[in-house]
Structure 1
Amino acid sequence: MDITVYLAGEIHSNWRNEIKEEVHSLQLPITFVGPMENHDRSDSIGEEILGEQPGKVFRDEAASSINNLRTELLMKKSDLVIALFGEQYKQWNTAMDASSAITLGKPLILIRPEKLHHPLKELSNKANVTVENVSQAIKVLSYIFETE
């Protein structure tokens, strides 16, 4: 059985590569999808497709509509969502993606450090599994495929 996992969360660190590399080394049958990881391209995609916008707000609106389409389509095709809340960046997109996963009825693994327990307690309560780090999330993925 192959599964597709949507990796939601900040795009500034290499946490996705860490998961992908470890899953590959464990030979788990998982395909990964997620948001555009090239931040500049994500921010400029609206103007690349629709042309120059008359201001920053319009530029953001044009890009966000295309990025939201990508997220919705890839998340709907996914079997599982992993949402990472890091300690360094504001995580509004991660919260939106995790909430979307719950709304779509997608199983959700929430990764958040213990110090973010309180601000994420309601979201964590709705997730199927909450872990504190990437390593624990990988162990959950691995367990899904164990037979004994």
Structure 2
Amino acid sequence: MEFVVYLAGEIHSHWRDEIKERASEHRLPITFVGPMENHSRSDEIGEEIIGEQHNSIFKDEAASKINNFRTSVLMNKSDIVIALFGEKYKQWNTAMDASSAIALNKPLILIRPEHLHHPLKELSNKANVTVESVEQAMKVLRYIFDQE
């Protein structure tokens, strides 16, 4: 049995690589998908596809539509969603993706540091599992495959 896991969250750090490496080390049959991790390409994709826009608002709107399309397609194809709330960056996209996973009834593992418990308490309550680290999220994934 193989799973598709959507990795939602900020695209500036290497947390996805850590998850992929650990899954590979444990030989877990998982395919990982997620948002465009090349930040410049994500910001420029609207103009890359439909041409130059009149101003930065239109440019952002064009890119957002295409990025949201990508997220919708890949999340709908996923079996599990992992959403990471990191320490450094604004987390609006993570909150949106986690909420989308809940609305789609996708099993959701929420990773958030303890100090974000209060601001994320409702979201955490709706997630299937809430953990504080990538390592804990990996233990949850590995448990799916345990036989004993």
TM-score (norm 2): 1.00
Q: How does 1:94-109 map to 2 (within 5 A)?
A: 94-109=94-109
Q: Tell me by how many angstroms 1:131 deviates.
A: 0.1
Structure 1 stretches of 4+ with a deviation exceeding 2 A read: none
Q: How does 1:6-85 map to 2 (within 5 A)?
A: 6-85=6-85
Q: Tell me by how many angstroms 1:3 deviates.
A: 0.3
Provide the residue aligned with 2:118 in structure 1. 118
Question: Which one-letter code corresponds to 1:72 in the other structure?
Answer: S
Name stretches of at least 5 consecutive residues in structure 2 with no aligned partner: none
Does the residue aligned with 2:17 lie in a helix, a strand or coil? Answer: helix
Question: Which one-letter code corresponds to 1:138 in the other structure?
Answer: M
CA distance in 2, matches of 1:55, 1:49: 16
CA distance in 2, matches of 1:146, 1:57: 49
Name stretches of at least 5 consecutive residues in structure 1 with no aligned partner: none
Count of residue correspondences = 148
CA distance in 1, matches of 2:89, 2:48: 26
TM-score (norm 1): 1.00
Q: Tell me by how many angstroms 1:67 deviates.
A: 0.2
Q: Tell me by how many angstroms 1:12 deviates.
A: 0.3
CA offset digits 1:105-147 (Å, max 9, x no partner): 0000000000000000000000000000100000000000001
Provide the residue aligned with 1:144 in structure 2. 144
Question: Which one-letter code corresponds to 2:121 in the other structure?
Answer: K
Q: How many percent of aligned residue pairs carry the same amino acid?
A: 76
Question: Which one-letter code corresponds to 1:120 in the other structure?
Answer: L
CA RMSD in angstroms comes to 0.3
Provide the residue aligned with 1:90 in structure 2. 90
Does the residue aligned with 2:5 lie in a helix, a strand or coil? Answer: strand
